[in-house]
């Protein structure tokens, strides 16, 4: 039994005539009769009664079979339609690997813009660290990852684009010699913090921070006098305000969490903090392509607003 046989049966059952059904289907009567015969043999019961005046009548089994045949054909057509829509990016599923602590202020505008343009696509977020993101991409468990750019070499099988960038800043105690003044003026030289204790998020809560700090210090040839781990960024900033040390963090994590006078941007050669989108170069997903198009527009808008 196949879909062609079901379509032929439904046409005959609705027209109650092999001649009219054949015309409706654009075929001759002999192959139509063969399809109905093959269908009845497959089902094992007679579905149609051929009357002497060439009219056709449904048997009791035929009436029941007609209802189910219509449902089956409708479901098959819906399946094909959904597949075509997914291929065109009109619907489907997008799996995104996220770094929640870093991207909670960056991702919502992107998701909102994507949902506005592609409301039928389901988006699923999963929180993974950098090494886990790479494994998930290779295994096909996620389509795209929100990935901190540390200027480390990437496998050629991956492709990336910038999603978000912001300066690195020093969060300072209120009585720190370099605190005060209007934020945005007189960026700070990181070497002026040589004698300060650097408060850092604990590895358990922010396992990627140590790598980012090493990257920042190496770029500026800076060595902290001491470091002290603190559980969670809110606790860390609270200890900064209490005078236990300073913190070196992406501006997106600090702005609005401490007074402006306690935040100073770090001047070059400290590199800015960047979040990239990372995906498999060989991916042919239309949903992923549409997501990347929206992400470029959102990134361009964010850059224009912050500049």
CATH classification at residue 71: 1.10.10.10
Q: What stretch of H or E contains 247?
A: strand 247-250
The domain boundary residue, chosen from 32, 61, 87: 87
The domain boundary residue, chosen from 87, 117, 151: 87
| Local confidence band at 305 (pLDDT 50, 70, 90 cut-offs) | very low
Q: What's the mean pLDDT when you consider all of the chain?
A: 85
How much is the pLDDT for 307? 46
Q: What stretches of the chain show up as alpha helix (H) in DSSP?
A: 3-15, 18-25, 29-43, 60-87, 100-103, 107-117, 130-138, 209-220, 233-241, 251-254, 286-306
The residue range of the domain holding 82 is 3-87
**Residues 176 and 266 placed together within one structural domain of the fold:** yes
**Residues 149 and 296 placed together within one structural domain of the fold:** yes
How much is the pLDDT for 82? 59
How much is the pLDDT for 53? 64
| Local confidence band at 100 (pLDDT 50, 70, 90 cut-offs) | low
Is pTM beyond 0.85? Reply is no
* pLDDT over 70, % of the chain: 87
**Do 29 and 22 meet the contact criterion of CB atoms below 8 Å apart?**
yes
What count of other Cβ atoms lies within 10 Å of the Cβ of residue 13?
21
**Residues 266 and 278 placed together within one structural domain of the fold:** no
**Do 167 and 272 meet the contact criterion of CB atoms below 8 Å apart?**
yes
How much is the pLDDT for 304? 47
**Residues 98 and 173 placed together within one structural domain of the fold:** no
Calculate mean pLDDT across residues 257-268.
Answer: 89
The domain boundary residue, chosen from 60, 87, 114: 87
**Residues 227 and 302 placed together within one structural domain of the fold:** no
**Residues 187 and 49 placed together within one structural domain of the fold:** no
**Do 170 and 267 meet the contact criterion of CB atoms below 8 Å apart?**
no
Q: How far apart are CA 278 and CA 162, in angstroms?
A: 9
109-137 pLDDT, tens digit per residue, is 899 999 999 998 899 998 888 788 889 99
pLDDT of residue 190 exceeding 90, the answer is: yes
| Local confidence band at 54 (pLDDT 50, 70, 90 cut-offs) | low
**Do 147 and 276 meet the contact criterion of CB atoms below 8 Å apart?**
yes
Which residue reads 């007074």 in tokens?
Answer: 259
Q: CATH number, domain at 184?
A: 3.40.190.10
Calculate mean pLDDT across residues 220-248.
Answer: 93
**Residues 37 and 159 placed together within one structural domain of the fold:** no
What count of other Cβ atoms lies within 10 Å of the Cβ of residue 148?
22
The answer to which of 51-55, 247-251, 287-291 has the lowest mean pLDDT is 51-55
Buried b (16+ CB within 10 A) or exposed e, 104-113: eebbeebbeb
Angle at which helices 107-117 and 286-306 cross, to 10°:
130
25-34 pLDDT, tens digit per residue, is 898 888 888 9
Q: How far apart are CA 75 and CA 70, in angstroms?
A: 9
Q: Which of 179, 180, 255, 192 is nearest to 220 (CA)?
A: 192
Calculate mean pLDDT across residues 134-161.
Answer: 84
Number of domains in the chain: 3
**Residues 186 and 67 placed together within one structural domain of the fold:** no
Of 183 and 272, which is predicted with more confidence? Answer: 272
The set of residues, in sequence order, having a beta carbon less than 8 Å from that of 150 and lying 6+ positions away, is: 211, 212, 215
**Residues 81 and 217 placed together within one structural domain of the fold:** no
Angle at which helices 3-15 and 29-43 cross, to 10°:
110
pLDDT of residue 151 exceeding 80, the answer is: no
**Residues 172 and 247 placed together within one structural domain of the fold:** yes
| Strand extents, DSSP E, 118-157 | 121-127, 144-148
**Residues 152 and 172 placed together within one structural domain of the fold:** no
**Residues 8 and 133 placed together within one structural domain of the fold:** no
How much is the pLDDT for 89? 52
């Amino acid at each position: 039994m196949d879909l062609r046989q079901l379509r032929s049966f439904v046409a005959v059952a609705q027209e109650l005539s092999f001649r009219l059904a054949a015309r409706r289907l654009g075929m001759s009567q002999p192959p139509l009769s063969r399809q109905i015969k093959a269908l009845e043999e497959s089902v094992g019961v007679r579905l149609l009664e051929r009357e002497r005046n060439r009219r056709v009548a449904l048997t009791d089994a035929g009436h029941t079979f007609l209802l189910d045949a219509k449902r089956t054909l409708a479901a098959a057509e819906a399946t094909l339609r959904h597949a075509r829509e997914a291929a065109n990016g009109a619907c489907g599923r997008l799996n995104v690997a996220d770094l929640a602590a870093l991207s909670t202020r960056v991702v919502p505008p992107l998701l909102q813009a994507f949902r506005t343009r592609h409301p039928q696509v389901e988006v699923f977020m999963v929180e993974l660290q950098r090494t886990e993101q790479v494994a998930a991409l290779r295994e096909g468990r996620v389509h795209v990852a929100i990935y901190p750019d540390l200027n480390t070499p990437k496998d050629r099988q991956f492709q990336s684009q910038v999603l978000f960038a912001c300066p690195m800043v020093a969060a300072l105690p209120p009585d720190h010699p370099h605190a005060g003044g209007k934020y945005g003026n007189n960026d700070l030289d990181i070497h002026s913090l040589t004698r300060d204790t650097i408060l850092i998020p604990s590895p358990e809560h922010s396992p990627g921070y140590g790598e980012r700090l090493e990257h920042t210090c190496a770029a500026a040839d800076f060595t902290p006098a001491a470091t002290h781990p603190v559980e969670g960024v809110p606790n860390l900033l609270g200890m900064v305000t209490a005078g236990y040390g300073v913190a070196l963090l992406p501006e997106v994590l600090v702005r609005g969490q401490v007074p402006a006078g306690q935040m100073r941007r770090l001047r070059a050669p400290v590199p800015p903090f960047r979040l990239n989108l990372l995906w498999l170069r060989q991916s042919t997903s239309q949903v992923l392509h549409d997501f990347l198009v929206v992400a470029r527009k959102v990134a361009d808008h964010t850059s224009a607003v912050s500049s």
